[in-house]
């Protein structure tokens, strides 16, 4: 329970500075400064924007479906926030170590779609409705390759427990994993190159099962679409739909929707880090007597374990978010038909192939 | 249609499209990353296009953070007007030529030479008001072109917007309103003194002159009206509010009505020709600058021809009707004219001798043949001369007046002028 306010405050602080970072990064990419006036280097710009947002008038359109309109932002954000419940932040630090963590997470963030549809429908605005319809079509579609790529990881790890998946990629696989007790190079036991004591990036899932490198790309692309981030932002599509499903929202309700948008960015980045990039484990391996992995990891349950674990997981997640931002300011928005082409004719078959290969790869692992 | 062998975009195969997508996306990412890191390293410095490095900044941030940094403006930038009031001779040329009437000048004649400008011109007029409304200014630069002393210039200051448009009016006068009032009062007192002196002196000489002159009887009456009108009108023109009036009259001076405007000239013009008038209008500089020299030169010349000059003036029977018109206009003008003009007129009224002549002229024109009237007219004409010529009369009352008096007053005043001198 104590982790709820912790996560909430982390999300809030992260959102404030992620918006700032996004504006700075987009500025630099376009050869300009981002915000510069509020605070040193404009770092308080988002705080000022937030204050402005919160003191704005709360408008509910007269012809809107009031109940849906008011409930939608809460559903969107709570669905996304509920996903944080099963995230392992560090060894021994998670809100709920559900044995069906991955399944729960994918299921609960699917509720996001319902919230978006409520917002778009309840606004009684054609732009909002169009945005909502696009959002539903896109998110339902992209949940297929997303789920399939996650399924490949689950097959590799033989578990739905996110903490268990994290332990399998750590130095303590022998002590804490209930599935495996050793890591081998590329997961191939017959080569007999035992990396259990080496750790580092070599025991990440994308190295335990190299085909997951491709799976990671599929997951990442699908997660972009799941977040409605550019280049998959056709639900919001400023140039076509004003602001999509949240066109009619003002003040605090808009802030909540905005918060939900950045929260799901962080959530999928956490998920990608946990599933593919070694979770809360350090990327540095032990090389002979240079015990980099030992120095940059803490034993599960200790303070250093929590500190290092939190540090590495957040660092990985933020790196992915940075990549998401650069991608947003690089690529043009996809057309709806291109979106569906990419989803059903590229990513989904690719994910199926990955699952097939992962199934065989699992046979090579212990 | 040409069958292209290039398989790209929609013409590509499935695997070709996938491959093309991956490579182009990768290139795009590299491009944005390159800009991202270059922006952290490089920044364009704010230099003008005249700098040889201007085109060498081809990477990094290009933003100019304007209020904090600005591209330097060349020294010959032509933006906000600035008047170096110490060099200003208040010739009013800038106000006259301004196409949008954004310059407002209230000239106050001095009782003595104020000083010299940095280029040696003599200053004889105070600028009671020298306001430039930059909100009206169209930046045509005409005023700086006509400025004889080049005291009015355009500076390279371009960022001077204001929240209140009234703050766009720039005051260049170095006199406070109180000081300006003081100068006016001094000038008017001086004028009154002169008028009295002249009237007292002129009474005798006038009687003599008319007798000496051939056409004494008829010409005198005609004269009076002619002279008076100018007195009034010039003052009005000088009034700060009447700029437009100034412009039109100046341009039209050749016309009869305008003649009265510049009493000073009339004498010159009538007899010799219109050339002097034109000179005044066309080139204020020579007059102003060489005011001293001219005054010296003119005096002798004028004195000699004085009588002959007057005759023509007197002859100007055509001008007599004008005075009548002018006389009728005068009262109106006075009412309309600027406060300063009104004040002056009121004050003058008190002295009666001065004003009466002005007002009366229309009525008495024909009947008045008495010496007293002549005297009045002479005094009024003197005032008119002094007042009318913004630049000349003010230049040096001592010198200037003599100059004018001879011209205008010729017949009746000669003695008076001499007396003044």
The DSSP result for B341-372, as a single string, is HHHHHHHHHTT-TTHHHHHTTTTTSSS--SHH
Mutation site, A330, A335, A345, A348, interface B, largest B CB count within 10 A = A330
Phi, psi of B129 (to 5 degrees): -140, 135
Phi, psi of B23 (to 5 degrees): -65, -40
Predicted confidence band of residue A242 (pLDDT cuts 50, 70, 90): confident
A132: three-class secondary structure by DSSP: helix
Q: What is the pLDDT of residue A352?
A: 93
Tens digits of residue pLDDT in A163-222: 888 888 888 877 777 777 777 877 777 877 777 777 778 888 888 888 889 999 999 999
Mean pLDDT confidence for A151-158:
89
Please report, for chain B, the start and end positions of each structural domain, with discontinuous segments joined by +. 81-175, 178-420
B269 or A306, higher pLDDT: A306
The CATH class for the domain spanning B81-175 reads alpha beta
Contacting A with CB below 8 Å, chain B residues are 14, 18, 25, 28-29, 31-33, 35-36, 38-40, 59-63, 65
Q: What is the pLDDT of residue A1?
A: 67
Q: What is the pLDDT of residue A216?
A: 92
Q: In whole angstroms, what is the distance from residue A8 CA to residue A82 CA?
A: 11
Q: What is the pLDDT of residue B278?
A: 40
Q: What is the pLDDT of residue B4?
A: 61
Q: What is the pLDDT of residue A272?
A: 92
**Tokens (6 digits) for A40:** 């040193």
Alpha helices in B213-338 (DSSP H): 219-238, 243-252, 258-261, 265-270, 275-282, 284-289, 291-303, 306-315, 321-336
- Mean pLDDT taken over chain A: 86
Sheet containing strand B169-171, edge to edge, reads B103-109, B125-133, B169-171
B308: three-class secondary structure by DSSP: helix
Alpha helices in B108-176 (DSSP H): 142-146
User: Helix, strand, coil: what percent of chain A each, to 5?
Assistant: 65, 5, 30
Q: Cα distance from B39 to chain A (closest Cα, Å)?
A: 5
Q: What percent of chain A has pLDDT over 90?
A: 12
Q: What is the pLDDT of residue B270?
A: 42
Please give the angle made by the CA atoms of B220, B374 and B416, to the nearest 5 degrees. Answer: 110
A330 vs B28: CB contact, 8 Å cut-off?
A: yes
Q: What is the pLDDT of residue A355?
A: 92
What residues in chain B have per-residue pLDDT under 70? 1-5, 10, 202-421
Nearest by CB: B33 against A326, A331, A346:
A326
Q: Where are the beta strands (DSSP E) in A163-292?
A: 286-287, 290-291
Q: What is the pLDDT of residue B276?
A: 40
CA A175 to chain centre: 28
With an 8 Å Cβ cutoff, is A29 touching chain B? yes
**Tokens (6 digits) for B151:** 């005291």
In sequence order, the 6+-apart residues with CB closer than 8 A to the CB of B36 are A25, A28, A29, A326
Burial of A282 (0-12, 13-18, 19+ CB in 10 A): buried
Phi, psi of A113 (to 5 degrees): -60, -40
Q: In whole angstroms, what is the distance from residue A208 CA to residue A190 CA?
A: 13
In sequence order, the 6+-apart residues with CB closer than 8 A to the CB of B242 are B236, B337, B338, B341
A96: three-class secondary structure by DSSP: coil
User: Helix, strand, coil: what percent of chain B each, to 5?
Assistant: 60, 5, 35
Chain A residues within 8 A of B35 when measuring between CB atoms: 28-31
Helix-helix angle A348-364:A126-157, to 10 degrees: 20
Chain A residues within 8 A of B69 when measuring between CB atoms: none
Q: Which residues pair with B103 in a beta bridge?
A: B132
Mean pLDDT confidence for A31-50:
87
- Would you say A259 and A15 are in contact if contact means Cβ atoms under 8 Å apart? yes
A329 vs B40: CB contact, 8 Å cut-off?
A: no
Q: What is the pLDDT of residue B178?
A: 83
Q: What is the pLDDT of residue B419?
A: 42
Q: What is the pLDDT of residue B261?
A: 41
B36 vs A33: CB contact, 8 Å cut-off?
A: no
Nearest by CB: A329 against B32, B61, B65:
B32
Q: What is the pLDDT of residue B258?
A: 39
């Amino acid at each position: 329970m104590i982790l709820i306010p912790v996560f909430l405050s982390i999300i809030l602080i992260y959102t404030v500075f992620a918006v700032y970072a996004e504006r700075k990064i987009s500025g630099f990419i376009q050869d300009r400064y981002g915000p510069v006036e509020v605070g040193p280097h404009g770092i308080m710009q988002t705080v000022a924007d937030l204050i402005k947002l919160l003191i704005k008038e709360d408008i509910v359109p007269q012809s809107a479906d009031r109940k849906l309109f008011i409930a939608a932002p809460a559903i969107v954000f709570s669905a996304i926030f509920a996903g944080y419940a099963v995230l392992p932040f560090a060894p021994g630090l998670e809100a709920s170590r559900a044995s069906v963590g991955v399944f729960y997470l994918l299921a609960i963030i699917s509720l996001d779609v319902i919230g978006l549809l409520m917002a778009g429908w309840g606004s009684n605005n054609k732009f909002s409705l169009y945005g909502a319809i696009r959002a539903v079509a896109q998110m339902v579609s992209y949940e297929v390759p997303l789920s399939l790529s996650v399924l490949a990881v689950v097959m590799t790890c033989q578990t739905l427990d996110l903490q268990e998946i994290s332990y399998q990629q750590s130095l303590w696989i022998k002590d804490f994993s209930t599935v495996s007790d050793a890591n081998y190079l590329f997961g191939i036991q017959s080569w007999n190159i035992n990396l259990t004591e080496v750790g580092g990036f070599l025991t990440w899932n994308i190295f335990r099962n190299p085909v997951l490198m491709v799976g990671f790309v599929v997951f990442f692309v699908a997660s972009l679409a799941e977040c409605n981030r550019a280049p998959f932002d056709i639900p919001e599509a400023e140039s076509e739909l004003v602001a999509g499903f949240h066109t009619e929202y003002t003040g605090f309700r808009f802030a909540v929707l905005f918060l939900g948008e950045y929260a799901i960015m962080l959530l999928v980045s956490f998920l990608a880090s946990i599933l593919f990039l070694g979770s809360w484990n350090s990327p540095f391996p032990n090389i002979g007597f240079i015990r980099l992995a030992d120095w940059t990891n803490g034993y599960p349950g200790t303070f250093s374990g929590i500190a290092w674990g939190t540090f590495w997981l957040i660092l990985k997640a933020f790196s992915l978010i940075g990549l998401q931002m650069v991608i947003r300011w690089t690529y043009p928005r996809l057309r709806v038909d291109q979106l569906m082409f990419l989803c059903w004719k590229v990513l989904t078959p690719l994910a199926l192939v990955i699952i097939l290969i992962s199934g065989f790869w699992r046979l090579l692992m212990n | 249609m040409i069958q292209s062998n290039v398989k790209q975009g929609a013409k590509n195969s499935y695997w070709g499209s996938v491959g093309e997508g991956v490579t182009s996306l990768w290139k795009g990412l590299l491009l944005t990353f390159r800009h991202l890191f270059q922006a952290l390293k490089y920044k364009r410095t704010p230099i003008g296009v005249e700098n040889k490095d201007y085109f060498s900044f081809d990477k990094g941030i290009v933003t100019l953070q304007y209020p904090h940094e600005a591209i330097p403006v060349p020294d010959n930038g032509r933006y906000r007007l600035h008047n170096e009031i110490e060099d200003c001779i208040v010739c009013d040329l800038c106000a006259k030529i301004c196409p949008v009437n954004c310059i407002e000048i209230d000239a106050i004649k001095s009782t003595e030479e104020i000083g010299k400008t940095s280029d040696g011109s003599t200053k004889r007029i105070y600028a009671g008001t020298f306001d430039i409304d930059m909100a009206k200014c169209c930046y045509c630069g005409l005023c700086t072109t006509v400025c004889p002393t080049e005291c009015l210039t355009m500076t390279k200051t371009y960022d001077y917007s204001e929240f209140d448009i009234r703050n766009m009016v720039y005051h260049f006068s170095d006199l406070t309103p109180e000081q300006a009032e003081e100068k006016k009062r001094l000038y008017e007192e001086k004028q009154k003194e002169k008028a009295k002196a002249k009237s007292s002196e002129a009474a005798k000489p006038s009687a003599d002159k008319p007798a000496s002159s051939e056409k004494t009887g008829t010409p005198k009456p005609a004269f009076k009206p002619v002279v008076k009108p100018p007195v009034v009108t010039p003052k009005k023109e000088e009034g700060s509010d009447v700029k437009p009036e100034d412009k039109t009259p100046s341009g039209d001076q050749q016309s009869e009505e305008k003649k009265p405007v510049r009493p000073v000239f009339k004498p010159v013009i009538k007899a010799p020709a219109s050339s002097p008038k034109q000179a005044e209008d066309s080139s204020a500089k020579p007059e102003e600058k060489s005011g001293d020299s001219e005054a010296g030169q003119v005096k002798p010349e004028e004195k000699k021809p004085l009588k002959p000059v007057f005759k023509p003036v007197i002859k100007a029977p055509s001008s007599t009707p004008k005075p009548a018109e002018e006389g009728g206009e005068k009262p109106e003008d006075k009412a309309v004219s600027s406060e300063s003009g009104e004040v002056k007129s009121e004050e003058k009224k008190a002295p009666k001798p001065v004003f009466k002549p002005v007002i009366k002229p229309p009525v008495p024109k024909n009947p008045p043949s008495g010496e007293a009237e002549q005297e009045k007219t002479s005094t009024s004409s003197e005032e008119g001369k002094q007042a009318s010529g913004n630049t000349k009369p003010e230049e040096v009352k001592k010198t200037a007046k003599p100059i004018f008096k001879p011209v205008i007053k010729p017949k009746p005043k000669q003695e008076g002028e001499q007396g003044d001198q």
